[in-house]
């Protein structure tokens, strides 16, 4: 059988769609779907810029699917979203400016330090009840807790959804399910600008993105449904697993980059 997409055999396309399905599922539960999706996109032979652009387009639609499912179940703490959206977006912009003036090795070291700290916090923080809105945190506390995550998103980015969920749970005392649900619309807002820029530049490979988008949206819907049904007993182990995976990948990359 001929390749369905020029340069990419049909069996690669099937593998990428299955990967997008799993990535959407895991991302809807705890975040970090790009950790699963991007390595295979790179192995498919796409240029790194096309990989980044295509992955962003796929992830955005999968996140939209999960957001809709969480909204339908009333799990999103909208007050947190309204207060944090603009500060997170501005912080992400500042982070991207800072990243352009920071050596690559220092970026990797900072990322590794953040990940290890997040993994330790995730292990130490005990999951609370599935509170719908949590205690009435002040606007200042919400901004002070989440704006640094926005800064990190612009500065480096991997695992932003994981960090947002963890910060909402540990600092704002939201239940893990509500913390996960509330992360999704914020991720949509912080990623939208990047996706629009990539589309405008024509770097999204739509022949590959469209079938993967459909698979990722299905995964996002199924993952959010599973999280709603199972709550913290599913979200916590997936969150820890994704953080551990990101730590291992970042450590390996950092060690490989050493002279």
Per-residue model confidence as pLDDT tens digits over 58-102: 888 888 898 999 999 888 989 899 999 998 888 887 877 776 676
Q: pLDDT value at position 21?
A: 92
pLDDT tens digits for 44-61?
Answer: 777 777 887 888 888 888
Q: How many residues does the chain have?
A: 259
Q: Are 221 and 74 in contact (CB under 8 A)?
A: no
Please identify every stretch of the chain with a pLDDT value under 70, giving residue numbers as ranges. 1-8, 99-100, 102, 104-112, 114-136, 154-158, 193-194, 250, 253-254, 256-259
Cα separation of 100 and 237, whole Å? 35
Tokens read off for 170: 């540990």
Q: pLDDT value at position 131?
A: 45
Residue in this structure with the two tokens 């909402």, named with its chain if needed: 168
Beta bridge partners of 5: 8
Helix-then-strand count for the chain, H and E: 10, 0
């Amino acid at each position: 059988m001929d390749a369905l997409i020029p340069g990419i055999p049909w069996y690669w396309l099937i593998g990428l769609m299955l990967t997008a399905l799993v990535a959407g599922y895991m991302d809807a539960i705890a975040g970090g779907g790009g950790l699963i999706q991007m390595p295979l996109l790179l192995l498919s032979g796409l240029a790194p810029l096309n990989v980044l652009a295509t992955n962003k387009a796929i992830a955005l639609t999968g996140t939209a699917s999960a957001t809709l499912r969480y909204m339908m179940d009333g799990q999103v703490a909208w007050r947190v979203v309204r207060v944090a959206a603009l500060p997170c977006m501005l912080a992400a912009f500042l982070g991207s400016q800072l990243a352009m003036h920071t050596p690559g090795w220092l970026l990797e070291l900072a990322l590794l330090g953040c990940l290890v700290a997040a993994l330790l916090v995730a292990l130490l923080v005990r999951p609370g009840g599935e509170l719908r809105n949590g205690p009435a945190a002040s606007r200042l506390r919400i901004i002070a807790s989440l704006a640094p995550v926005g800064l990190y998103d612009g500065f480096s980015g991997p695992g932003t959804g994981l960090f947002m969920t963890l910060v909402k749970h540990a600092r704002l005392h939201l239940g893990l399910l509500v913390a996960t649900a509330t992360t999704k619309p914020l991720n949509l807002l912080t990623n939208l600008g990047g996706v629009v820029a990539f589309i405008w530049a024509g770097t999204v490979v739509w022949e590959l993105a469209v079938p993967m988008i459909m698979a990722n949206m299905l995964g996002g819907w199924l993952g959010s449904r599973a999280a709603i049904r199972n709550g913290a007993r599913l979200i916590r182990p997936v969150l820890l697993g994704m953080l551990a995976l990101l730590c291992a990948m970042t450590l390996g990359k950092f060690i490989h980059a050493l002279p």
